[in-house]
Structure 1
Amino acid sequence: MLETYTPAFLMTVKEANVQSVMCAYNRTNEQVCCGSNHLLTELLRDSMGFKGYIVSDCDAIEDFYTGHKIVNTKPEAAAMGVKAGNDLNCGRTYKGLLEAVKTGLLTEAEIDVSLKRLMKARFELGMFDPDEMVPYAKIPLSVVESDEHVKIAEEAARESMVLLKNSNNLLPLDKAVKTLAVIGPNANDVEVMYANYNGYSRNPVTPLDGIKKKLPNTKVLYARGCNLAENLPALEIIPNEMLFTASDMKKHGLKGEYFPNRNFKGQPQMRRVDDKIEFNWWDGTPGKGFDDNNFSVHWSGFIKAPKTGEYYIGGEGGHKYRMEFNGERIVKFFTPDNPSKVYRKKTLEAGKCYPVDIYFTDTCRMASMNLLWQVPGADLKKEAMDIATKADVIVMFMGLSPRLEGEEMDVEVKGFKGGDRISLGLPDVQSDLIKSIQSLGKPVVLVLLNGSAVSINWEKENIPAILEAWYPGQAGGTAIADILFGDYNPSGRLPITFYKSADDLPDFSNYNMEGKTYRYFRKEPLFEFGHGLSYTTFTYSNLNAPKTICAGESVKVSVTVTNSGKTDGNEIVQLYISNRTATVPIPIRTLKGFAKIFLKAGEAKVVEMILKPEDFSIINESGKRIIQSGQFLLSMGGCQPSESSLTSKKVLTAELSLKKE
């Protein structure tokens, strides 16, 4: 039986039996999502049968009165959230529940409903059981980043990467290459591998690290080439030779005073001179006698400017610090989430020493603190061009960064706004560098590291090989090197559409789906959803599907896949459905199934998929899911159906009629 409503989360609730759902900040049909009885109770709980607990996105309940302004006070917002079915608040607004009960906005019985759901989840997690009964309690910390788990990180990274282009089989590269140039702002940046809302590895492998390890007999040259974007400095640790304990510049380093509390109270428990400020204590402490999450450090001294010009000076730490430079507070930072780079632009004079004071407090989770700067005057592009002229092959690591795209970000960079994208192209400094390197006429491979689509129109036409690596995690450098040098045959497929331009898309404030995603985008994409190449080729034959079915029947579809190339590899077989005769607006096509298969060179396999009755359904104008008689086009292959994929037999299609009895 079909559900009355079938949102995108139905499979998660019905099939995966998820136990927690987060409600969003925005409004749907004029109702705030975290305060919508229709969404949280009628739809999620009553219609879909969700039995777990609902948690708000952070401060989404507070937004009721500070952002949406649909109520006036914290107690009103808290009462609305609980009444709608939001059990747990990420934020502070549910502190207003007591006042809400006192003033009659809410009853204790209504709170008890949420309380029971939350306590049930805690019981199921074993939070009230002895450790010996709880499997999670038996996992030592050493398991977290064990060799086995690092291998899983490598595997996940390799399988996620997508080979977008490979003209004349430039890839895989020959491991015997004598001189290789590695160029780009993302080539040796650990931050860009993690993305955001992330954990941290003790031994991350950047792309540069991965390539050097892969090619022990190759001369590997490296240059950053450019910053990620204008007004986005590439910050580095301030070296020991530029730090002094006093203005007389006789002793290098900064004086550190370490307090056994968060407030710099009393006498320091430890005093020492630190060579530089580059600390990651993880869940530990600076020394004996300190408590984790309960210490503070005051560093003081002087920074010497090696040249005159505009510097970027700041820090990166977690999770609370402030910095005073030359008598002025230039940085203040606190978050319970991940550390961020915070900095100011200052004009300094060569040879002059400037006083600096850093006040750091460890408040939660992993403690870390870095003192950073960018020195003016480096000709990054010239450095890149110099090594490129000496290289036999050039690999460029470009793209975006979690410093550019993310959630509620203060970014003053062309093409970005608050962490959102208002342009889909690469930043100008990157495009300029790519074009200059390409003009040398040498083999160039472009590796993209980014979290969202980029419009690389020029690069698609002019760079022979392009690999999309995303934000690949701690083992990303190993995975990239494995693919570039042929130790792994790429098989990833794009989970999003790469558009030619933001101008091809509707306005950002238009929430209609028409013109967005592969299901509704009617123009020609740069790279389509489902696109991805391999170091081998696959052909399809013998598509078997019934010509006619009745409503309510499941359908078995099969196809023969042959590895028609000379290299073993994985193929991602994709099954799409297009409804040709629907009476309401519908998607152009919808992915209804996929399967990953491994085929040796010359090997063939039959792949079967089952289409369920609801796969032929549509949403009518009343918002209900129904099945109509009509004509459908099925396509099965390694990508979406197109003139070229049909001609090359990479995709096959079949017509199917559905009748209602």
Structure 2
Amino acid sequence: MKVSLVALGLTCCTIVKAQEYKSYPMWNAALPVEQRVTDLVSRLTLEEKVAQMLNTAPAIPRLGIPAYEWWNEVLHGVARTPYKTTVFPQAIAMAATWDTASLKLMAHYSAIEGRAINNRAVEEGKTGDRYKGLTYWTPNINIFRDPRWGRGQETYGEDPFLTAKLGAAFVSGLQGDDPRYLLAAACAKHYAVHSGPEPTRHTDNINPGLHDLWDTYLPAFRELVVNAKVAGVMCAYNAINGQPCCGNDLLMNDILRNQWKFTGYVTSDCWAIDDFVKNHKTHATTAAAAADAVMHGTDVECGTSVYKSLVNAVKDHIIEEKQIDSSLKRLFTIRYRLGMFDPTQDVPYTKIPFSVLEAPEHKALALKMAQQSIVLLKNEHNLLPLSTRLKKVAVIGPNADNRNALLGNYNGHPSHTVSILEGIREKLGANVDLRYEQGIDYTSDVAPSKDSAGKKADLKAIAARAADADVIIYVGGISPDLEGEEMSVNAVGFKGGDRTSILLPAVQTELLKELKATGKPVVFIVLTGSAIAIPWEKESIPAILNAWYGGQGAGSAVAAVLFGSCNPGGRLPVTFYGSDSDLPAFSDYSMQGRTYRYFKGEALFPFGYGLSYTTFKYSHVQMPATMQKGKPIMVTAAVTNTGRYDGEEVVQLYCSYPEVNAPIRALKGFQRFKVRKGETRMIVFRLQPEDLMVVDDSGNQYQPTGKLVISVGGGQPIATIKTTSNVVTKTILIK
């Protein structure tokens, strides 16, 4: 066979060139990452550099750099992939567990599944595909300041301390503990002062006072950046004090980069840089917008085209190329820490097999966390737990057999999701007459049946058909189809993904009244991603469970709690207000009158609240009577299970300074653990001086002298609502 010398020469040349880049320092795994990154960036053209700053970064074949898509999601399990993954309870539900260990393990399992997906993408040459990368834009640590915000379900609730501790646990679990490589890269979002309304998020300009900024909106971000060493931060759509967050002097340059010394990468929220020109109208051109964002440390544009104008911005001397280089170095440092430029045999996570998706231990944790998240709001005359020896059970409501509602938003898709109805059926077995009827939709009395489409449901008839049951289980609330991110929803009480009223939709209350009128015991199971006002239900329905959006195992978890094989131990991470009139204007970002820390009214169910099938007693609470300012404080107590069931208690410690301008009270410690019936557990809290600080009107932290009130118990020191434990309060004099 004859071989063309020209072709042979070209082939040899190609091989030499293909091998040549491997000799560059950027590919030498023995060198420090900083040196390798510097070498890589020095070899890029300006056009190549700019292209790498888009979330969809193209391959650079001449250097062997693969394509990479920065955008991925792992809010409560790996999301939006084409594969079946484990779906854990929604973030707000995980917050209701008050369990940092469970959350850390959940994040670790999710990262393991994500690595398996990425490993396959590498094998298939699909590293540029969205939702297959290792940079996850989670957790959402915005403060859930107003229950009307549809995306509040993605957060860890309304409290800065709880949010900070849960968020740090998530970051630790997701990023792993390898000294050299990240298992995955977390991203704290949305920085900052961002929590709705959804329809105006692209134009909102918020002017938070310095007290609220440092007291409420920034503590969780500081915890994740300074202490948890989160790899990334996402800047928000809104403007602060007239400057868009992604180009904000105070947030980006002063606080994030200078005060907190953040060296990780920053991505914009998607199309947020477009907002500079189109919505905020703070910049006349895309080149000016892009340059300003980069000069404020925004390294990646999630969007389509604005950062492409950086090429001309450099040529027109709007920005210097070395500032582009700074962003590139941060971006490639993350990719190097993820092991993308090292031999696969050197990176331990590249050996994770695809078979770990939906591993048995992952599914078991999803079920456990769903159980942990359930909050028992009411249990009159100990109606719960129910007996499994019932003869007839009626299950009614729009969420009873709705699997999609259990998955929340920013979710993956498991191989199987257990609906509430399915969980109850499996628990009761074939010998119980189980009758199911959806009855109504969430917000209307239009009959949901295809056979009666368009007709109004007869609420009295629905109740009559359930009247001969031993117990009626109504499964209602709301759904991710009604609340979420920038949604087009046409339903009473909902707008643009948000809620216009926090009341349970009226048609559900009307049906519950009819069910109550049957004289049979009624159990109300609430599915929601936020606080719902249920004043009539609180007074009239004997048993109420809040089950959130509980993930793939929600049905089994609810059934376990209903019938007593699991004792509920969830606690509210948000305040359940009694009515819309309890809330300030949605667009008002002042914290006055908001959350348990500043709300002076009486909550329907307070932050930290949750009942149990057993009871707990706190005793032997010890703390010093006087202390010197700047010294740590040790608080000890004994917790005894005085009831008839084993149970898990969530111990909560709150601090308040009644003599200064500070929150009414603030959570400063919590622990969740199991206490068997009759058992006593000793607990210890060590409060550091920084835990005892408050924020003045100028945003400065200080520790007051005078009275410091500390309470320890199973909730807040509020006597207006019965709980399953006492709360012990003592006063310390700080000198």
Instruction: Flag whether TM exceeds 0.5 (same fold).
Output: yes
Q: Distance in 1 between matches of 2:583 and 2:366?
A: 35
Q: Distance in 2 between matches of 1:402 and 1:153?
A: 19
User: Does the CA-based 8 Å contact 1:79-1:97 persist in structure 2?
Assistant: yes
* Structure 1: gaps spanning 5 or more residues: 237-305, 308-374
State which of 660, 672, 697 in structure 2 corresponds to 1:596. 672
State which of 200, 205, 227 in structure 1 corresponds to 2:441. 227
User: Does the CA-based 8 Å contact 1:639-1:645 persist in structure 2?
Assistant: no
User: Does the CA-based 8 Å contact 2:615-2:724 persist in structure 1?
Assistant: no
Partner of 1:198: 411
Work out whether 1:542 is the aligned partner of 2:635: no
Which amino acid letter does the alignment assign opposite residue 188 of structure 1? D
Relative to structure 1, the CA distance from residue 649 to residue 218 in structure 2 (aligned partners, 3 Å threshold; closer, same or farther) is closer
The structure with higher relative contact order (CA 8 Å, sep 6+) is 2
User: What SS class does the counterpart of residue 273 from structure 2 fall into?
Assistant: coil
CA drift of 1:587 comes to: 0.6
Q: Distance in 2 between matches of 1:568 and 1:231?
A: 42
Work out whether 1:51 is the aligned partner of 2:129: no
CA drift of 1:631 comes to: 1.1
Partner of 1:553: 631
Q: Distance in 1 between matches of 2:474 and 2:721?
A: 30
CA displacement, residues 130-167 of structure 1 (integer Å, 9 cap, x when unaligned): 33333333223321212221111001111111000000
CA drift of 1:598 comes to: 1.3
Work out whether 1:150 is the aligned partner of 2:358: no
Work out whether 1:141 is the aligned partner of 2:219: no
Partner of 1:32: 244
Relative to structure 1, the CA distance from residue 147 to residue 28 in structure 2 (aligned partners, 3 Å threshold; closer, same or farther) is same
CA drift of 1:230 comes to: 3.3
State the identity as a percent.
47
Q: Distance in 1 between matches of 2:552 and 2:724?
A: 38
Which entry has the higher C-alpha Rg, 1 or 2? 1
Q: Distance in 1 between matches of 2:235 and 2:512?
A: 42
CA drift of 1:89 comes to: 1.4
CA drift of 1:119 comes to: 0.3
- Bigger helix fraction: 2
CA displacement, residues 176-225 of structure 1 (integer Å, 9 cap, x when unaligned): 11111111101111110011111011111110111111111212111101
Query: Matches of residues 115-514 of structure 1 in structure 2 within 5 Å?
Result: 115-216=328-429, 217-230=431-444, 375-377=453-455, 379=457, 381=459, 384-514=462-592
User: What SS class does the counterpart of residue 467 from structure 2 fall into?
Assistant: helix
Partner of 1:68: 280
223-232 vs 196-205, which moves further: 223-232
User: Does the CA-based 8 Å contact 1:165-1:460 persist in structure 2?
Assistant: yes
Relative to structure 1, the CA distance from residue 648 to residue 397 in structure 2 (aligned partners, 3 Å threshold; closer, same or farther) is closer
State which of 650, 665, 670 in structure 2 corresponds to 1:572. 650
Partner of 2:728: 652
Work out whether 1:18 is the aligned partner of 2:96: no
CA drift of 1:26 comes to: 1.3
631-640 vs 433-442, which moves further: 433-442
Q: Distance in 1 between matches of 2:600 and 2:701?
A: 24
- Bigger strand fraction: 1
Q: Distance in 2 between matches of 1:438 and 1:103?
A: 73
Partner of 1:310: none
User: What SS class does the counterpart of residue 62 from structure 1 fall into?
Assistant: helix
State which of 317, 321, 336 in structure 2 corresponds to 1:104. 317
Q: Distance in 2 between matches of 1:439 and 1:39?
A: 56
Aligned residues: 519
CA displacement, residues 594-630 of structure 1 (integer Å, 9 cap, x when unaligned): 0112111111122110111012212122211122322
User: What SS class does the counterpart of residue 643 from structure 1 fall into?
Assistant: coil
User: Does the CA-based 8 Å contact 2:439-2:448 persist in structure 1?
Assistant: no
Work out whether 1:78 is the aligned partner of 2:290: yes
User: Does the CA-based 8 Å contact 1:225-1:383 persist in structure 2?
Assistant: no
CA drift of 1:648 comes to: 8.6
User: What SS class does the counterpart of residue 477 from structure 1 fall into?
Assistant: helix
Which amino acid letter does the alignment assign opposite residue 391 of structure 2? K
Q: Distance in 2 between matches of 1:649 and 1:408?
A: 41
State which of 597, 601, 610 in structure 2 corresponds to 1:519. 597
State which of 72, 75, 90 in structure 1 corresponds to 2:302. 90
C-alpha RMSD of the superposition: 2.2
Q: Distance in 1 between matches of 2:454 and 2:406?
A: 26
Q: Distance in 1 between matches of 2:404 and 2:612?
A: 28
Q: Distance in 2 between matches of 1:59 and 1:418?
A: 18
CA drift of 1:588 comes to: 0.4
CA drift of 1:439 comes to: 1.1
Which amino acid letter does the alignment assign opposite residue 225 of structure 2? V
Q: Distance in 2 between matches of 1:575 and 1:232?
A: 47
User: Does the CA-based 8 Å contact 1:182-1:223 persist in structure 2?
Assistant: yes
User: Does the CA-based 8 Å contact 1:411-1:418 persist in structure 2?
Assistant: yes
Partner of 2:144: none
User: Does the CA-based 8 Å contact 1:226-1:380 persist in structure 2?
Assistant: no
CA displacement, residues 42-78 of structure 1 (integer Å, 9 cap, x when unaligned): 1012212222111111111111111111112222211
Work out whether 1:631 is the aligned partner of 2:707: yes
